[in-house]
Chain A
């Protein structure tokens, strides 16, 4: 396995090159900033949740490496249309995946395209990159304004 097979799969490179939903969200009901003080990566994640508790839209803005950017981009797609409970479930599944504990935690099929991050756990320094926007999303839903990878994980 090479680093491009494991970490920089084509899907990740594509989302890095053309990140989806990368913008602020004027009608956001939830938002939070995620920062990784060790590497300076930072993203603000915005969510628009409707009265029925359905996540209608997820966007983000900020900067970071290809792993963190592709992760935010793919998260924004994966969460649209999900309930808050499903978003928390997906957080847990994704978190387990990037820590290399996916099998124990959840049926991997739930993650769908997000499984391209399954090689990240082999690169411990990059786990925080993949998890950064997800932690920000969770903080936003939990009503916290800011999260740091130094507290999370």
Chain B
């Protein structure tokens, strides 16, 4: 067994995650489904519980003590998200229901300004959540969708992308880290090229924020979305970052309470950012819990997490590649610790099931990226996705379990 890089506090991190202390039958849990959702540190669980126990109240409107405490905690989480992304202004942080919620918000509110013939560039690598809202927008407006192809090793074909950019391009919406291939896309370069043509860029950072520092000002992205639950926070909450002037110019998405300054029966004056895009009572506990999660990862340091996961990726990839019959999908030079693979003669669901019987949790399926599966001519893959609390010993348990599958189906 190889040990972790010196100085990385793996034992302390693992101790912070109560779910990791479980056994699945006779086996210790080996949780390698982090691209689906991450486990939660005790501090997040405690923060959510404390909110419900001690300060459960609605925000932004109560004069009473509990409401003020809840509002402070909620707005405190906005400051934390601002710092986490290095956004220039706190009003650029919109709390959403998750990545999907953020993408739909932009598709509606930014999309309201598009007309027939305007072009949106997506990629073949997108999660369904970054495809379907744009298809729906296309059907409403007559705008045109174009798709950056994927190369054989799982990279975006940037030459094809450059050739797609033109005077009609209004928006480029691309994934930072592919959830099914693990590819880390060169989003800064993609953004520069789009800006040179006057197009805006949305970055789906759902898989990026848990494993690498993301700085929206350095990237110069126009929009960026992520989910709380993939970055060790609660489900049902996420963040949309948008440049202030862009968000300010966009019409609201959902109408309702909290997004208004005044309402008569005939008309409404909308609230300023960020409230304009936060209609209704939000997932208050979730947002506060997300704040605790962002504190947690910042405490570890995403540079250190990235280095740890790069070690895991290289190690686990080598172990799997050494098993005859294993084929890896997504072999780009820049990758996160998401490893998609198939085993000759064995359906990925059977791999997932048998791995589970050995305590190893992976995902099997199309990973909400059916066009990626179609691109590679396969129905599904098994996917092992590592996080900051995973170890090289767990990578070894994965490989050993895959060998057992192979033996069983031989």
Partners in one complex: yes
How many Å from the CB of B365 to the closest CB on chain A? 6
Q: Taking the complex as formed, is A64 at the interface, i.e. its CB lies under 8 A from any CB of chain B?
A: yes
**Known A40-B366, A64-B347: A4·B408 in contact at CB below 8 Å:** yes
Task: Name B351's closest neighbour in chain A (CB-CB).
Answer: A65
Q: Taking the complex as formed, is A33 at the interface, i.e. its CB lies under 8 A from any CB of chain B?
A: no
By a CB distance below 8 angstroms, the chain A residues around B332 are none
Tell me if A65 and B347 are in contact (CB < 8 A). yes
By a CB distance below 8 angstroms, the chain A residues around B408 are 4, 8, 13
Give the most central of A13, A65, A67: most B CB within 10 Å: A65
Q: Annotate A67-79 by CB proximity to B: 1 below 8 A, 0 otherwise.
A: 1010000000000
Which residues 34-71 of A have a CB within 8 angstroms of B?
38-41, 63-67, 69
| B interface bracket (residues with beta carbon within 8 Å of A) | 10 to 19
Q: Annotate B332-367 by CB proximity to A: 1 below 8 A, 0 otherwise.
A: 000000000000011111100110110000001110
Measured between alpha carbons, how far is A3 from B350 in the docked complex, in Å?
11
Tell me if B409 and A16 are in contact (CB < 8 A). yes
| A interface bracket (residues with beta carbon within 8 Å of B) | 20 to 34
By a CB distance below 8 angstroms, the chain B residues around A129 are 349
How many Å from the CB of B63 to the closest CB on chain A? 48
By a CB distance below 8 angstroms, the chain B residues around A39 are 349, 364-365, 380
Measured between alpha carbons, how far is A4 from B373 in the docked complex, in Å?
29
Tell me if B365 and A66 are in contact (CB < 8 A). no
Measured between alpha carbons, how far is A38 from B364 in the docked complex, in Å?
11
Q: Taking the complex as formed, is B379 at the interface, i.e. its CB lies under 8 A from any CB of chain A?
A: yes
Tell me if B354 and A17 are in contact (CB < 8 A). no
In the complex, how many residue pairs between chain A and chain B have their CB atoms under 8 Å apart? 49
Tell me if A38 and B409 are in contact (CB < 8 A). no
**Known A63-B379, A66-B347: A38·B365 in contact at CB below 8 Å:** yes
Q: Taking the complex as formed, is A146 at the interface, i.e. its CB lies under 8 A from any CB of chain B?
A: no
By a CB distance below 8 angstroms, the chain A residues around B349 are 39, 64-65, 67, 126, 129
Q: Taking the complex as formed, is A7 at the interface, i.e. its CB lies under 8 A from any CB of chain B?
A: yes
Tell me if A13 and B409 are in contact (CB < 8 A). yes
Tell me if A65 and B350 are in contact (CB < 8 A). yes
Of the candidates A3, A38, A41, A63, the one whose C-beta lies within 8 Å of that of B353 is A3
Give the most central of B347, B348, B380, B408: most A CB within 10 Å: B347
How many Å from the CB of A65 to the closest CB on chain B? 4
By a CB distance below 8 angstroms, the chain A residues around B409 are 13, 16-17, 66
Measured between alpha carbons, how far is A16 from B408 in the docked complex, in Å?
12
By a CB distance below 8 angstroms, the chain A residues around B346 are 66
How many Å from the CB of A81 to the closest CB on chain B? 30
Measured between alpha carbons, how far is A39 from B348 in the docked complex, in Å?
10
Task: Name B365's closest neighbour in chain A (CB-CB).
Answer: A39
Measured between alpha carbons, how far is A3 from B345 in the docked complex, in Å?
19
Q: List 12 A-B contacts (CB under 8 A).
A: A4-B354, A8-B408, A13-B409, A16-B409, A40-B373, A40-B380, A41-B379, A65-B348, A65-B349, A66-B346, A66-B409, A129-B349
Q: Using A2-B357, A13-B408, A40-B366 as known contacts, list a sample of 11 further A-B pairs with CB atoms less than 8 Å apart, ordered by residue number in A.
A: A3-B356, A3-B357, A4-B354, A13-B409, A39-B380, A40-B370, A40-B373, A40-B380, A41-B379, A65-B348, A65-B349
Mark A residues whose CB is within 8 Å of B: 2-4, 7-8, 13, 16-17, 38-41, 63-67, 69, 123, 126, 129
